[in-house]
Amino acid sequence: MPEVVGIGIQDFEEIRVMKNFYVDKTAFIEEWWETNNKVTLVTRPRRFGKTLNMSMLNCFFSNKYSDRGDLFEKLYIWKNEKYQKLQGIYPVISLTFAGIKPNSYAKFLENMKILINNLYLQFQFLQQSQNLSPIEKKQLSYFSDFENNLSEVEIEYAIYQLCICLQKHFEKKVIILLDEYDTPMQEAYTYGYWEDAIQFMRGFFNTSFKTNSCIERVIMTGITRVSKESIFSDFNHLKVVTTTSDQFETAFGFTEEEVFSALDRYGLGDKKSDVKEWYDGFTFGKIKDIYNPWSIINYLQEKKLAAYWANTSSNSLASTLIQKGSPDLKQQMEQLLNGEELETGLDEQIVFNQLDNSEEAVWGLLVASGYLKIVSTWQEKEGGTTYLLRLTNHEVYLMFKHMIKGWFQSNRFNNTFIKALLQGDIKAMNVYINQIAKETFSSFDTGKKASEFVQPERFYHGFVLGLLVELRGRYEIKSNRESGFGRYDVALIPIDTKGPAIVIEFKVIDADEEKSLEETVQNALKQIVQRDYDAELIARGIAGDKIRHYGFAFRGKEVLIG
């Protein structure tokens, strides 16, 4: 009988004691230790085993587990006598920033204070140490007392102070494990206190890791590689391992061999191709065909295909960035949703306060988060690198589909408008499109000034994405593509060539040349004919009498369709 599949268990000891399903990742212990790097940062998407691996490191190195070699018996690491001697011999500080998600800087500091209070409570036994002075014991009591209002500087130095006490007591340097190091910074960006948080974190990391002579090793994990200039500017000994690095390639996530072996053991061997389509697609370093472990474990238990990984988070940051993005970014996102690939630059070093102005940073965040995969790269003559990106897998596609649909769920007019569009009901289309414009225009506006609010491209791209969700499966949605003698705005190409095809041209009224929206509509319709935008559709076998032309004219939030 195969092991019981437990969902959401991130404690290594619990998994081993309960004999739950586990894929042996203990080779990571050896690989990390042999690098001999003082401070290591590993970035991987969420739900890829980062927390479980940190728990594994804690169980292996911490002297709290000095008599628990049984947890590693029959695993890779226990075959090496050298590492058997390393098990359970170091004082370890293990902490996570996973719960640091406040909506203000004041609450952020309060969260950090409580984290430090709880951490110090774990080491109350140091009060009995013969190696610590009365002053040091008094400091231990001070930091563990929830009634004390710790200052910013005291919080910054708390880890450093604890390391001093641990080294004196055990006469051995300390290992620090920090999980989800970047969670507070993502929240700081989202809620607008980025500059304050970064200033604090820079001091916290500097005192905890750089100037701390009591540490043996430090390893941090997170989703993003926050720019070194932001928080690690003083670090010259930080080793960063991202998804494109060659180190730790198979330590996080499941390889295809591991997945297929598990499917065979649980009687699901005939589902390999379906599982591959849904959950494969991640690449770490040079290793391709890495699977999302959260989805695989859920599939082994439920035995049905579903978007398990995509449903574990609100994906609010990705959603916000796409909604606030430029028309070009929305169009490129549409391109990816249509199953196509995107050539772009990429910035792996995330500076959150630059996300609003740098599309390369946005693509970097989406790659780091696992939503996009790098198909290939090449060096440009100018020295830069170009990346070929696409959606990671079917599960990610469904995530974006539901995300975009959610932008329109509050709009009761959307489905009715689409029905009118397909039926050619111009009167109904005009009623509904103006209601949609009033309710959703601001959702896709990226301008900072009121005058920029009227940019029709913002609505156009949001609208196209909404159509894509509603009509995918019946229509192939294309925008800004060459056909005839120009580039149409939108084309809806029926999967069944017997259905109607639609060409849409958008125009904002030119007050100097056009007296009314009616005139603007006619100019849009003339452009469709004069530039022969039907050419691609006719080449696809669609009869001319099956092609409808729509002109959309904009004046602020007012829209007229003809």
List, for residues 316-345, the tens digit of each pLDDT value. Answer: 677 777 777 776 777 788 788 878 899 988
Structural domain that includes position 137: 22-224
Q: Please check whether residues 469 and 552 belong to one and the same domain.
A: yes
CA neighbor of 332 nearest in space, from 278, 389, 394, 397: 389
Alpha helices in 171-236 (DSSP H): 183-191, 194-205, 228-231
DSSP letters spanning 246-307 = STTTTTSSEEHHHHHHHHHHTT-GGGHHHHHHHH--EEETTEEEEE-HHHHHHHHHH-S---
**pLDDT tens digits, 279-290:** 999 999 999 999
Q: At what angle do helices 327-337 and 316-324 cross, to 10 degrees?
A: 120
Domain membership of residue 295 (yes or no) is yes
Burial class from Cβ neighbours inside 10 Å (0-12, 13-18, 19+) for residue 72 reads buried
- Same structural domain, 350 and 463: no
Q: How far apart are the first and last CA of the chain?
A: 67
160 and 131 in a common domain: yes
d(CA 70, CA 466): 55
Inside any domain, residue 129: yes
For 60-92, what is each residue's pLDDT tens digit?
A: 999 999 999 999 999 999 999 999 999 999 999
Same domain? For 451 and 358 the reply is no
Count of CA atoms in the C-beta half-sphere (13 A) of 355 = 29
Name the token pair of 18: 């309960």
Q: Is residue 7, in this structure, part of any structural domain at all? A: no
Q: 37 and 159 share a domain?
A: yes
Residue 178 lies in a domain: yes
204 versus 356: which is more confidently predicted?
204
The answer to whether the Cα torsion of 361, 365, 366, 367 is positive or negative is positive
Q: Name the more confident of 446 and 361.
A: 361
Percent pLDDT > 90 in the chain is 49
Helix or strand (DSSP H, E) at 385: strand 385-391
Q: Are 478 and 497 found together in one domain?
A: yes
pLDDT, position 510: 80
Q: What is the DSSP letter of 184?
A: H
Band (421; pLDDT cuts 50, 70, 90): confident
| Residue 535 resides in a domain | yes
The answer to whether position 328 is within a domain reads yes
Residues 157 and 202 reside in one and the same domain: yes
Interval 161-208: pLDDT, tens? 999 999 999 999 999 999 999 999 888 988 889 889 999 999 999 999
Is residue 236 a part of any domain in this protein?
no
Q: How confident is the model at residue 56 (pLDDT cuts 50, 70, 90)?
A: very high
| Residue 99 neighbours by CB under 8 Å, 6+ apart | 111, 115
Whole-number pLDDT of residue 515? 83
Same domain, 296 and 380: no
Residues 67 and 185 in one domain: yes
Which pTM value belongs to this model?
Answer: 0.79
Tell me if 247 is assigned to some domain: no
pLDDT attached to residue 450: 33
Last residue of a domain, one of 391, 419, 437: 391
Of 311, 342, 357, which residue sits at a domain end? 311
Please indicate, yes or no, whether residues 48 and 197 belong to a single structural domain of this protein.
Answer: yes
- Which among 327, 359, 391 is the end of a domain? 391
More confident residue, 181 or 315: 181
Number of domains in the chain: 4
Tell whether the model's pLDDT for residue 454 goes beyond 50. Answer: no
Tell me, what's the pLDDT at 453? 36
User: For residue 289, what are its two tokens?
Assistant: 């065909």
Same domain as 527, residue 499: yes
CB of 23 closer than 8 Å to CB of 262: yes
CATH number, domain containing residue 29: 3.40.50
Asked if residue 302 and residue 181 are part of one domain, the reply reads no
pLDDT at 449: 36
Question: What integer pLDDT is reported at residue 446 of this predicted model?
Answer: 33
Q: Using N-to-C axis directions, what is the helix angle for 256-265 and 293-302, rounded to 10°?
A: 10
